[in-house]
C-alpha cells in the first residue's frame, strides 16, 4: 500500500473559509469559488466564528451572521456550511476547529485553510498558531488594500512561509497538511466594514453582496 504523501495518490480534499462574515460579501464568495476551481476542491466549507478572538464582539449575533452565510452560499453545490464554531462556547479558535475537523474527517483527508493576506500578517498571534500547519494546508490570497506597508510580514512569518511554501497545487491533494501556497484571485476591494458603513448611511450595498443577504439585512433591521 502506498503511503500518504506519495505524489501519485490523490486524497479527498476540502477547503475551509473561516471569518466573522459580518456580513458575507462577494469578496469572500468569489475568492472561495476561484480557489475551488483553480485548486480543484470538491467542497469549500464556510465556518462563521461565534466569538472572533481578534475582534470586538461583533455588532450582529452569530446566529444572524450564520444565517447570512447560509443564504450567501445557497445554490452552490461546492459550498457547504459548518456551524462547529457556533456550537462551542468561548473564543472561536481555528486550532479547535481544525482538531474537530480532524476528528470528523480523519487524518487522510486534505484540509486547506483559505486566508486573505490581511489575516496572514497577524497569523503569529493566533492561539497555538504553530500547531495549525500540521493539521492543514494554507492558501493565501492577496487582498487589495491601501495599506500595503501594514501588510509587511514579521520575520517569524517570513520564515514560516519559507519553510512550508509550495508552488505545486498537487501537494494539496497528495498530503493532508503542511504546505502553504499563494494563488491570485480577482481583486475585489470589498470589506464587511465598508458594507456596514454603507448600511449605516442608508446607502445601497447592491453589487457588493448577494441580493438575498441584503434582503435579510433589511428584514431584520441590521446595521442601522
**Which residues contact ligand ATP by CB under 6 A?**
19-22, 27-28, 31, 115-116, 118-119, 141, 143, 188, 190-193
> Of 84 and 119, which CB lies nearer to ligand ATP in the complex structure?
119
> Of 19 and 72, which CB lies nearer to ligand ATP in the complex structure?
19
Give me the residue label for grid cell 472561495: 32
> Of 11 and 188, which CB lies nearer to ligand ATP in the complex structure?
188
> Of 32 and 174, which CB lies nearer to ligand ATP in the complex structure?
32
Rounded to whole angstroms, how far apart are CA atoms 90 and 78? Answer: 30
Q: State the sign of the Cα–Cα–Cα–Cα dihedral 92, 20, 197, 69.
A: negative
Minimum distance, C-beta of residue 195 to ligand ATP, in the bound complex (Å): 8
Minimum distance, C-beta of residue 2 to ligand ATP, in the bound complex (Å): 34
54, 101 in Cβ contact below 8 A?
Answer: no
Minimum distance, C-beta of residue 52 to ligand ATP, in the bound complex (Å): 8
> Own/partner pairs for 124-131, CB < 8 Å, 24+ apart?
124/154, 124/156, 124/157, 124/160, 125/54, 126/53, 126/93, 126/94, 126/95, 127/53, 127/91, 127/93, 127/94, 127/95, 128/93, 128/95, 129/95, 131/95
Give me the residue label for grid cell 514560516: 160
Minimum distance, C-beta of residue 32 to ligand ATP, in the bound complex (Å): 9
Minimum distance, C-beta of residue 117 to ligand ATP, in the bound complex (Å): 7
Residue nearest to ligand ATP as judged by C-beta position: 116
> Of 10 and 59, which CB lies nearer to ligand ATP in the complex structure?
59
> Of 8 and 204, which CB lies nearer to ligand ATP in the complex structure?
204
Rounded to whole angstroms, how far apart are CA atoms 169 and 71? Answer: 30
Minimum distance, C-beta of residue 191 to ligand ATP, in the bound complex (Å): 4
Amino acid at each position: 500500500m502506498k503511503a500518504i504523501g506519495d505524489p501519485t495518490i490523490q486524497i479527498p480534499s476540502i477547503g475551509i473559509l473561516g471569518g466573522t462574515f459580518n456580513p458575507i460579501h462577494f469578496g469572500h464568495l468569489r475568492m472561495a469559488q476561484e480557489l475551488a476551481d483553480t485548486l480543484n476542491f470538491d467542497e469549500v466549507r464556510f465556518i462563521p466564528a461565534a466569538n472572533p478572538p481578534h475582534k470586538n464582539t461583533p455588532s450582529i449575533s452569530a446566529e444572524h451572521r450564520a444565517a447570512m452565510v447560509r443564504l450567501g452560499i445557497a445554490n452552490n453545490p461546492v459550498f457547504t456550511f459548518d456551524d462547529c464554531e457556533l456550537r462551542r462556547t468561548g473564543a472561536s479558535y481555528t486550532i479547535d476547529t481544525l482538531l474537530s475537523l480532524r476528528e470528523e474527517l480523519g487524518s487522510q483527508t486534505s484540509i486547506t485553510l483559505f486566508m486573505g493576506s490581511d489575516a496572514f500578517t497577524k497569523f503569529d498571534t493566533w492561539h497555538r498558531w504553530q500547531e495549525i500547519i500540521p493539521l492543514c494546508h494554507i492558501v493565501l490570497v492577496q487582498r487589495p488594500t491601501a495599506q500595503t506597508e501594514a501588510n509587511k510580514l514579521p520575520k517569524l512569518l517570513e520564515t514560516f512561509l519559507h519553510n512550508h511554501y509550495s508552488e505545486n497545487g498537487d501537494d494539496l491533494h497528495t498530503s493532508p497538511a503542511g504546505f502553504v501556497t499563494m494563488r491570485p484571485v480577482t481583486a475585489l476591494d470589498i470589506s464587511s466594514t465598508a458594507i456596514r458603513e454603507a448600511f449605516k448611511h442608508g446607502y445601497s450595498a447592491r453589487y457588493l453582496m448577494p441580493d438575498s443577504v441584503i434582503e435579510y439585512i433589511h428584514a431584520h433591521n441590521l446595521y442601522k
